[in-house]
Structure 1
Amino acid sequence: MTHRLPDEFVARLRDVLGDELPDFVAAASQPHVRGLRRNARKVSADQLDAVLGVPLEPVPWCETGFRLPGGTPLRLGDHPAHRAGLFYLQEPSAMSPAEILARGLAERGPGAAVIDLAAAPGGKTTRLTELVGPDGVVVANEVERSRLGALHQNLDRWGAANVVTCSRPIADLARLAPASFDGVLLDAPCTGEGMFRRDPEAIRHWSVAAVHGSARRQARLLAEAGKLVAPGGVLVYSTCTFAVEENEERIAAFVADHPGWTIEDCTQGFARGRRVGDAPTDRTARLWPHRLAGEGHFVALLRRDATPEPAAEAAGRERRRRARQPKPEPAAASWRAFAKATVPELVDLPIVVRGDRVFARPATPSGLPDDVLTRPGLPLGRARPGRFEPAQALAGYLDADRVVEARDWTPDDPRWHAYVSGAEIPDTGPDGWVLVCAYGWGVGWARRRGNQLKNFLPQALRSQPDRAPKARRAATLDER
Structure 2
Amino acid sequence: MIEIGKNITEYLRENFGDEYMSRFVEFYDSEPKTHIRISPRSDKQKLFEALTHYGIELKGVQGIPNAYEVTRGVDMVGKTIDYILGAYYIQSLSSMLPALVLNPSPKDKTLDLCAAPGSKTTQLSELMSNRGTLVSNDISIDRLRVLMYNIDKMNVVNAGVLNKKGELLCGFFDEYFDRILVDAPCSALGIIQKKGEVSNWWNRNKVSGIAEIQYKLLVSGIRMLKVGGELVYSTCTLTLEENELVLNKILEKYPVELVDVELPVESREAFTDIRGVKLNPGISKAKRIVPWEAGSEGFFVAKLVKSDKTDKRNADKSRFKNDIKLLNANSRDIKNYLSEISDYYGIEKSVFDDYRFIQRSKDIYFVDGRWDSIHTGLFNRIGSKFGAVDKKNRVQLHMLAAQILGKYVAKNRAELKNKSELEIYFRGGVIRRPFDSKGQKIVFYDDKILGTAVASDEGLKSQFPRAFRTQEIVIP
Q: State the match for 2:3 in structure 1.
A: 4
Q: State the match for 2:24 in structure 1.
A: 24
User: Residues 69-104 of structure 1, C-alpha deviation per residue, up to 9 Å, x if partnerless?
Assistant: 2x63424322111122101111111111111111xx
User: Partners in 2 of 1:73 and 1:99 — Cα distance?
Assistant: 25
1:111/1:133 contact within 8 Å kept: no
User: Partners in 2 of 1:239 and 1:21 — Cα distance?
Assistant: 19
1:358/1:381 contact within 8 Å kept: yes
The one-letter amino acid of 2:397's match is P
User: Partners in 1 of 2:210 and 2:292 — Cα distance?
Assistant: 25
CA spacing shift, 1:456–1:338, aligned 2, 3 Å: same
User: Partners in 1 of 2:115 and 2:445 — Cα distance?
Assistant: 27
Q: State the match for 1:263 in structure 2.
A: 258
The one-letter amino acid of 1:205's match is W
Question: How far did residue 400 of structure 1 move?
Answer: 4.5
User: Residues 287-330 of structure 1, C-alpha deviation per residue, up to 9 Å, x if partnerless?
Assistant: 1111022111111111112x5799x99xxxxxx9x966357575
Q: 2:463 aligns with which of 456, 462, 465?
A: 456
User: Partners in 1 of 2:442 and 2:324 — Cα distance?
Assistant: 34
Of the two structures, which has the highest relative contact order with CA contacts closer than 8 Å and spacing of 6 or more?
Answer: 1
SS at match of 2:164: coil
The one-letter amino acid of 1:389's match is Q
Q: State the match for 2:379 in structure 1.
A: 373
Aligned ranges for residues 26-425 of structure 1 at < 5 Å? 26-44=26-44, 46-53=45-52, 54-69=56-71, 72-102=73-103, 105=104, 110-258=106-254, 260-268=255-263, 269=265, 270-276=267-273, 277-305=279-307, 307=308, 325=325, 330=333, 333-342=336-345, 344-345=347-348, 346-348=351-353, 349-386=355-392, 387-400=394-407, 402=409, 404-409=411-416, 413-425=419-431
The one-letter amino acid of 2:272's match is R
SS at match of 1:233: strand
Question: How far did residue 434 of structure 1 move?
Answer: 1.6
Q: State the match for 1:436 in structure 2.
A: 443
User: Partners in 1 of 2:438 and 2:376 — Cα distance?
Assistant: 35
2:367/2:382 contact within 8 Å kept: yes
SS at match of 1:334: helix
SS at match of 1:227: helix
Relative to structure 2, which stretch is displaced further, 192-201 or 23-32?
A: 23-32
User: Partners in 1 of 2:157 and 2:448 — Cα distance?
Assistant: 15
User: Partners in 1 of 2:219 and 2:108 — Cα distance?
Assistant: 22
Normalised by the length of structure 2, the TM-score is: 0.86
User: Partners in 2 of 1:230 and 1:131 — Cα distance?
Assistant: 20
CA RMSD of aligned residues (A): 2.8
User: Residues 166-207 of structure 1, C-alpha deviation per residue, up to 9 Å, x if partnerless?
Assistant: 212224431112111111111111111111111121111211
User: Partners in 2 of 1:124 and 1:343 — Cα distance?
Assistant: 35
Relative to structure 2, which stretch is displaced further, 114-123 or 6-15?
A: 6-15
The one-letter amino acid of 2:345's match is T
2:96/2:120 contact within 8 Å kept: yes
Question: How far did residue 355 of structure 1 move?
Answer: 2.7
Normalised by the length of structure 1, the TM-score is: 0.85
User: Partners in 2 of 1:148 and 1:353 — Cα distance?
Assistant: 21
SS at match of 1:232: strand
CA spacing shift, 1:226–1:438, aligned 2, 3 Å: farther
Question: How far did residue 462 of structure 1 move?
Answer: 2.0
The one-letter amino acid of 1:197's match is Q
User: Partners in 1 of 2:412 and 2:247 — Cα distance?
Assistant: 53
1:408/1:437 contact within 8 Å kept: yes
Relative to structure 2, which stretch is displaced further, 330-339 or 145-154?
A: 330-339
User: Residues 316-366 of structure 1, C-alpha deviation per residue, up to 9 Å, x if partnerless?
Assistant: xxxx9x966357575553343124312623344432223322222323334
2:125/2:131 contact within 8 Å kept: no
Question: How far did residue 55 of structure 1 move?
Answer: 2.0
